[in-house]
Amino acid sequence: MSTSFLNIKNISKKFGQFSALNEISFSIKKNEFVCLLGPSGCGKTTLLRIIAGLEEATSGQIELDGKDITALPPSKRDFGIVFQSYALFPNLTALQNIEYGLKNRNFSKKEYKERALEALELVDLVHVKDKYPAHLSGGQQQRVALARAIAFSPKFLLLDEPLSALDAKVREKLRREIRSIQERIGITTIMVTHDQEEALTMADKIVVMNNAEIMQVGSPQTIYYQPSNPFVADFIGSINLWKEQNHCTRMMAIRPEHVQINAKGGVEAFVEHVEFRGPVYRLQVRVNEQSSFLFNRVMKVDVTSQAIQQFNIRKGSKISISLPHGQLLAYEEQVVV
Amino acid sequence: MNSVLNEISPNKKVKQRIGANEWLERLLVTMVLAFFLITLVFPLLALFVQALYNKDNIFVGAQNFIEYFQTATLVSSLKNTLFISTVTMFISVTLAFFYAYSITRTRIIGKGIFRYMALLPLFAPTMMHGIALMYLFGNQGFITKGFFGLFPGVDLHLYGPVGIIMAEIVYTFPQAFLILLITLKTTDNRLYEAAETLGTGKWKQFLTITLPSAKYGLISSMFVVFTLSFTDYGAPKVVGGQYNVLATDIYKQVVGQQNLSMGATVGFILMIPAVFAFIVDQMTQRKQSTYLSSKSVPYKIGKNRKRDLAAFLYCFSITGFILILMFAVMAAALVKVWPYNLHLTLDHFSFSSYTGDGLTAYKNSLIISFLTAFFGTILTFLFAYAIEKIRKLFVYRKISYLLSIIPLAVPGLVIGISYVFFFSRPEIIILNWSISNPFHSLYGTIWIIVLANILHFYSVAFVTATTALKKLDREFELVSESMGIPFYKTFFKITVPMCLPAILEMSMFYFVNSMVTISAVVFLYSADFKLAAISIVNLDDAGNWASAAAMSVLIVFTNIVVKLLYEFGLKGLKKRTERWQLTNEN
C-alpha cells in the first residue's frame, strides 16, 4: 500500500436508475501513467470527472497521498486537467493562458513569469508565446493546454481524450511528446481514451472498462497477451473467439498473428479473402477439415508477405494452419459480459 | 485524522465541502430566483387574486369574468381587438415575408439600406405611427386633402379600425421582418440543387421547399404580430377614435373608473394570446433546428432580372412609405400651424405649453432608459451566466431559466397593472395573515419604472446573453476551477471580454425600448415624473399634435443616435477582438 499514490476505492455513480460506475477500485503509483480505456458509455469519463471533483460519486472514496480527498471541491484537489477541446482562453495569448493559472498562487510576479516560460519551453513552444489560440495549430493548442495544466506543479494530471480532435500524424507525434514530458517532470497521470493504440503505446498501466465495471487492470503487455476475459481479448486488438465443443462452458481464443501456417500437418483451410494491410496480410480462412473442432469456422490469420510468397497464398488457395498451445487463451463462459 | 476518515462507511455518499466560491454561486442563483419572485411571480399572483375579488374586495370567484362577457361594450372591445389583430397579422406577415424574401433570395442592390429602413419603426413609439397617419390621412391630412387641393383627395376614414390597423402594421412589420429574415437565411441550397436536377420549376420550388422550410418562422411571426397588436396601447389611443379595444379598456377601467377588479380581468384576457404564442414558440423552436445541419450549404441566388426588378420596386415602396411617415411627423413638428400656416419653426420643440411636461419628460425618459440599460444589462448578463455556467444547483437553474423566458408571455400593460396591484399595497394578506409589504416603498419612485422596463424587455436580452455564453467553451470554468481560480475572476477576465458585443447589444436594446415604451409605464409613472412617451399621449389628448410630433421626433432621433453609437462601439470592439479571433470563418 505504501507505494500507491492515488487510491480509488469502491466508487459508484448512479444517475437515477442508471448505474454509470459500479464499485470501481484500483490504485495508481506515484509517477505512473494510467489509461482508462473502454468503449463510449463505459463510464471512463464519469470516473475521471469524479476524480477531478467535477462530479460527486454516489458512494466510495478517493485517497491522494494517504489523504481522503472525496469531500474536497476541485480547486482543493491540486490537479491539472487537459480537455479534448483544449479550453484555452481565446482572449489570452499562449503565455498569458499559462500565467493565468499561476497568478492566483503564492508566486511573485517574477516567479510566475519564469514558471510560465519554463512550461512553454517544456512543450517547445516559446516561439509562439505571444500568439492567440486561434492562430495556433491544433497540436500547438493542445501543447499549450498541457503546459498550462502542469505549470503550477500539480500533484497529478488528468487528460480527457486529449488527442482525439487531432489528425492521425499529429496524434502519433503528440503521444510520444506527452509521454516524454510526463516522464521528465515525473507527474502521476490519468488519461481517458477510447483508442486502444493510444493506451497501448503510452500507458504504464491500462484500466479497461466496460458497462460501468473494470474488466482488467494491467500493463499493456499483460492486457494484450493475457487478456483476462473475452471482452478485453476482443476489445484490444483482433482475436478469433470460439466455444470449445466438449466443454460447453469454455471459450477459446487466439490472436490472428499467433495462428501458424504450415506446409503440412495442421488443419486444412480454404482462403476466402486476402486483405493487404501494409506490413502484414490478413487472411480470412474457412476450416475445411471435418474432423476438426473448428470445422466450417472462419478464422482471421495474419501472415507476413514473405509467408504469402513462400506458400503461394491467393484467394481460393488451400493452406494448413495450426494453433500453438502456448498462445491459446481459454475462458470460463460466465465471465462473458 | 486519516483513520477517522477511513472509518466512514464507503457506501455513504460523501458531499463535497462548500467553500466561499460555492457560497457565492449559491447566492447568485438565489438572487435570480428572488428577483423573479418579486418582479414577476408576486405581481402576477396579485393580479390573479384581484381578478377573483370584486370592487369591494369580496371574493367572487369567476364572477368578474362572467360580468365581463355580459357587458356588451366590453365584449365588443374584445371583438374589435380580435378583428384588428387578425387583419394586422395577415397583412403585416405577408408584407414582411416578401420583404425578407427580396433581401435574402434576390440580387437587388441596396440590401443594407433596405434592412435598416425596415427596422426604423422600432425606434419610434407606436403613437408616432398614429400621428404620422393622422397628418397624411386624417381629416386635414396631406393625402386626404389631395396635396393641398392639387388632386382629388382620398378619405380613408382613418379614425377607427383603418387607422389602428395601419399603425399596427407599421409597428409590427419590423418584428415580423426580423424573424422571417433569419428564417429565410437559414436554408440548405442542396435542396434547391436537388430540385433543379429533378427539373422542378421555380414556382414549384417556392411552394415545396421555400414555404415549408419557412413554416415555423411564419407561424412564430404570426403569433408575435398578433400578440403585439392585441396588446398595443399607443396606436388605438391616437387614431382609434370611438373604436374601443382591450388595451384602451384596461386603462379606462383601472385609471378612469378605478375598477381594479375589472382591470385585472381584462389583463387576464389580454394575456391569453401571448401565453398561447409563447407555448407555440417554445414548441416550434425545437423543430426549427432540424431544418439545418452542419452540412447545409448556404443559398446561392441565381440570375433573374425580372424578379430582381420586382423585388427592388417592392422594397423601395415599403421603404418609401416608412420614410414618408417619418417625414410627415417631422413636417408636423416643424410647421407652424398645419395646414394653415406652413412656415417652418422650431417652436414646437420648446414645449411651451404646460401639457406633457415638455423637455423635463424627455429628460426623465433619458434617465429611465439609461438606468434600465445599465442595471438591466448587468442583471441580465449575470443571471444568464448563473443559469448557463454554474455547474451545480441544477434544479434551481432550470427553474430560473423558465422564469427568464416567461416575461415573453406577459404584455407590458399586464406588467403595469400587476405592479400596481402588488407594489401599491402597504400590506399583503396571505390566508388572513397580514404582513407589511417590504417593496411598497418602491411604489411611485422611478425605480419601479426601471424594474418594470427591465422585466418587460428581459427575455429578449436574456436570449442574447445566453446565445453569446453558449458559444464559450463550457470547460473554461472547469479548467479555472482545477487551477484554483475563483469563478468570478474568470467571469471578469474571460467571459465578459468575450461577450462584450452581446453586452453592448443588450444595453442598446434596453435603452431604445425604454425610450419608446408606454404600455407598462402608463400605470406606474407619478405626476411629478412624466416620461416622453406619456407626454405624447397627453399632448395628443390636448390636441397639441405639433408638440406630440416634436416629442416623437426627439425620441426617434435619440434612438437613432444611440443605435449609431452602438454600431460605432461594435466596430471598435471588433477591431480589438479581431486579433484573438480566427481571420473570419472561411
- Rounded to an integer, what distance in angstroms lies between the CA atom of residue A142 and that of residue A161? 11
Query: CA-CA distance, A100 to A92, in Å (whole number)?
Result: 9
d(CA A101, CA A72): 19
| Banded pLDDT at B356 (limits 50, 70, 90) | low
Task: Give the minimum alpha-carbon distance from B321 to chain A in angstroms, rounded to a whole number.
Answer: 45
Look at residue B348 in the predicted model and tell me its pLDDT.
80
User: pLDDT tens digits, residue range B436-488?
Assistant: 888 888 888 899 999 999 999 999 999 999 989 988 888 898 888 888 888 88
Name the least confident of A152-166, B80-94, B430-444: B430-444
A175-203: average pLDDT: 93
Q: Is B355's pLDDT higher than 80?
A: no
What does the pLDDT read at residue B387?
92
- Tell me the residue length of chain B: 586
The string of pLDDT tens digits covering residues B486-535 is 888 999 999 999 899 999 999 999 999 999 999 889 889 888 888 999 98
Q: Which of B1, B483, B573, B582 to mutate to test the interface with A (most CBs of A within 10 A)?
A: B483
Specify whether A27 is located in the same domain as A129: yes
Q: Which of A192-196, B213-217, B336-340 has the lowest mean pLDDT?
A: B336-340
pLDDT for the residue B437:
83
Residues 6 or more apart whose Cβ sits within 8 Å of residue B516: B122, B123, B124, B125, B126, B533, B555, B559
Q: Which three cell numbers, joined as nine digits, stand for B30?
A: 438565489
CATH code (residue A12): 3.40.50.300
Residue B562 contacts by C-beta under 8 Å, 6 or more apart in sequence?
B508, B511, B512
User: Nearest CA of chain B to the CA of A324: how many Å?
Assistant: 46
Residue B197 has pLDDT above 90, yes or no: no
Give the model's pLDDT for residue B170: 95
Residues A80, B11: C-beta atoms closer than 8 Å: no
Is A73 close to B479, i.e. CB distance below 8 A? Answer: no
Sequence-distant (6+) residues with CB within 8 A of B321 are none
> Dihedral sign, CA of A278, A280, A284, A288?
positive
Show which of residues 59-78 on chain A sit within 8 Å of chain B, judged by CB atoms. 59-61, 66-68, 70-77
Are the Cβ atoms of B18 and A87 closer than 8 angstroms? no
Q: Which own/partner contact pairs does B42-46 have at CB distance under 8 Å and 24+ positions apart? A: B42/B422, B43/B415, B43/B418, B43/B419, B43/B421, B43/B422, B43/B423, B44/B410, B44/B414, B44/B418, B45/B422, B46/B418, B46/B421, B46/B422, B46/B425
A73/B17 Cβ within 8 A: yes
More reliable by pLDDT, B317 or B187: B317
The mean pLDDT of chain B is 86
Higher pLDDT, A302 or B274: A302
Q: How many other CB atoms sit within 10 Å of the CB of residue A124?
A: 13
Cell of B490: 474568470
Over residues B132-148, the mean pLDDT reads 81
| End-to-end CA gap in chain B | 59
For residue B545 the three cell numbers come to 399634435
User: Rounded CA gap, B169 and B180, in Å?
Assistant: 15
Residues of chain B in Cβ contact (below 8 Å) with chain A = 2, 5-6, 8, 10-19, 21-22, 391, 473, 475-476, 478-486, 489, 493-494, 497-498, 577, 579-582
Q: Which three cell numbers stand for residue B276?
A: 398561447
Model confidence at B303: pLDDT above 90:
no
A59 vs B10, B22, B577: nearest CB: B10
Residue pair A113/A98 in contact by the 8 Å Cβ criterion: no
Long-range contact list for B282-289, CB < 8 A, 24+ apart?
B282/B405, B284/B216, B284/B219, B284/B220, B285/B216, B285/B220, B287/B216, B288/B183, B288/B216, B288/B217
Chain A residues within an 8 Å CB radius of B470 = none
Whether the bond into B121 is cis, omega within 30 of 0: no
Closest CA to A318 of A262, A280, A278, A242: A262
A337 pLDDT band, cuts 50/70/90, is: very low
Please enumerate in sequence order all residues whose Cβ is within 8 A of that of B280, keeping only pairs 6 or more positions apart, or say none. Answer: B219, B220, B223
Contact B229, B89 (CB under 8 A): yes
Would you call B22 and A73 a contact, using CB atoms and an 8 Å cutoff? yes
Residues with Cβ within 8 Å of residue B501, at least 6 apart in sequence: B468, B570, B573, B574, B577
Rounded mean pLDDT of B191-201? 84
- For residue B380 the three cell numbers come to 441580465
- Under DSSP, the state recorded for B522 is G
Please tell me the predicted confidence (pLDDT) of residue B30: 93
* Count: domains in chain A: 2
Q: Does the predicted interface ipTM exceed a cut of 0.85?
A: no
Q: Among A73, A80, A135, whose Cβ lies nearest the Cβ of B16? A: A73
* Cα–chain center distance at B165: 19
Separation CA B49–CA B264 (nearest Å)? 9
Q: Is the separation of the CB atoms in A23 and A60 below 8 Å?
A: yes
Give yes or no: residues A38 and A165 share one domain. yes
Nearest CA in chain B to A137: B582
Statement to judge: residues A137 and A263 lie in one domain? no
A189 shares its domain with A51 = yes
Boundaries of domain holding A73: 4-231
The minimal CB distance from A67 to the residues B2, B493, B498 is found for B2
Could you tell me if A38 and A168 lie in one domain? yes
Please state the separation of Cα B145 from the chain's center in Å.
Answer: 36
Are residues A159 and A204 located together in one domain of the fold?
Answer: yes
Q: Which helix (H) or strand (E) holds A268?
A: strand A267-276
Query: Which residues, in sequence order, are CB contacts of B460 under 8 Å at separation 6+?
Result: B408, B509
Contact call for A66 and B2, based on CB within 8 A: yes
Amino acid symbol at A220 = P
A79 contacts B23 by C-beta, under 8 angstroms: no
| CATH number of the domain within which A280 lies | 2.40.50.100
Could you give the strand order of the β-sheet that contains A318-322, starting from the edge strand earlier in sequence? A260-262, A318-322, A267-276, A280-287, A298-304
Give the sign of the dihedral formed by CA B551, CA B554, CA B558, CA B560. Answer: positive
CA A208/CA A205 separation, integer angstroms: 10
Separation in Å, CA of A199 to nearest CA in chain B? 24
A interface test, pick of B15, B479, B578 with most A CB neighbours within 10 Å: B479
Q: Minimal CA–CA distance to A186: which of A33, A26, A8? A: A33
| Residue where a domain terminates, one of A209, A231, A253 | A231
Strands (E), B93-196: none
Pair A66, A126 in one domain = yes
Average pLDDT over residues A235-264: 83
Place of cell 466560491: B21
Q: Indicate the pLDDT class of residue B291, thresholds 50, 70 and 90.
A: low
Spatial contact of B84 and B229, defined as CB atoms under 8 Å apart: yes
In the predicted structure, residue B2 carries a pLDDT above the cut 50? no
Q: How many whole angstroms separate alpha carbon B17 and alpha carbon A336?
A: 40
State whether A225 and A244 are in the same domain: no
pLDDT at A335 over 50: no
Q: Which of A94-103, B57-66, B77-86, B119-128 has the lowest mean pLDDT?
A: B57-66
Same domain, A124 and A78: yes
| Spatial distance between the Cα atoms of B216 and B222, rounded to a whole number of angstroms | 10
Lowest mean pLDDT among A198-207, A258-267, B224-233, B306-315: A258-267
Asked if the Cβ–Cβ distance from A61 to B8 is below 8 Å, we say yes
pLDDT, tens digit (0-9, with 9 covering 90-100), for B46-62: 898 888 887 777 788 88
How do residues B101-124 score in pLDDT, each as one tens digit?
A: 999 989 988 899 999 999 999 999
- pLDDT class for A247, splitting at 50, 70, 90? low
| pLDDT higher than threshold 50 for residue B586 | no
A262-291 exposure pattern, b = at least 16 Cβ within 10 A, e = fewer: eeeebbbbebeebeeeeebbbbbbebbeee
Confidence at residue B113, expressed as pLDDT on a 0 to 100 scale: 92
Q: Which of helix, strand or coil describes residue B133?
A: helix
Instruction: Specify whether the CB–CB gap between A256 and A324 falls below 8 A.
Output: no
Closest-CA residue of chain A to B477:
A87
Task: Provide the mean pLDDT of chain A.
Answer: 89
SS3 of B291, please? Answer: helix
Give the model confidence (pLDDT) of B361-420 as tens digits. 899 999 999 999 999 999 999 999 999 888 788 889 999 998 998 898 899 999 999 999
Q: What is the distance between the alpha carbons of residues B491 and B385, in angstroms, rounded to a whole number? A: 9
**Side-chain half-sphere of B533: how many Cα atoms within 13 Å?**
31
Q: Which of A52, A59, A148 sits opposite B12 (nearest CB)?
A: A59
Cell (9 digits) for B325: 411617415
The domains found in chain B, sorted by start residue, are 18-49+362-529 (1.10.3720.10), 58-129+162-290 (1.10.3720.10)
Report DSSP state, residue A10: E
B498 Cα to chain A: minimum distance (Å): 7
- Cell 415624473, residue? B529
Q: Are residues A227 and A279 in the same domain?
A: no
Q: What is the mean pLDDT of residues A182-196?
A: 93
Closest-CA distance, B546 to chain A, in angstroms, reads 52
Tens-digit pLDDT profile for residues B83-96: 999 999 999 999 99
Cβ separation B481–A85 shorter than 8 A: no
Give the residue among B131, B142, B141, B139 at the shortest CA–CA distance from B167: B131
Of A201, A231, A261, the position where a domain reaches its end is A231
Q: Are residues A259 and A214 in the same domain?
A: no
Among partner residues A101, A135, A149, which is closest to B485 by beta-carbon distance?
A: A101
Strands A213-218 and A156-160: unpaired
- Mean per-residue pLDDT, A102-119: 86
The continuous run of DSSP H or E covering A109 comes out as helix A109-122
Query: Which of B475, B498, B577 is the best substitution to test chain A (most A C-beta atoms within 10 A)?
Result: B475
Question: Is residue A168 located within the same domain as residue A242?
Answer: no
d(CA B41, CA B421) in angstroms, rounded, equals 12
Give the count of beta carbons closer than 10 Å to the beta carbon of residue A168: 8
Global pTM reads 0.85
Instruction: State which of A231, A246, A267 marks the end of a domain.
Output: A231
Please, which residues 240-299 of chain A have a Cβ atom closer than 8 Å to chain B? Answer: none
DSSP secondary structure letter of residue B336: E
Judged by CB atoms within 8 Å, which residues 138-157 of A form the interface with B?
148-149, 152, 154
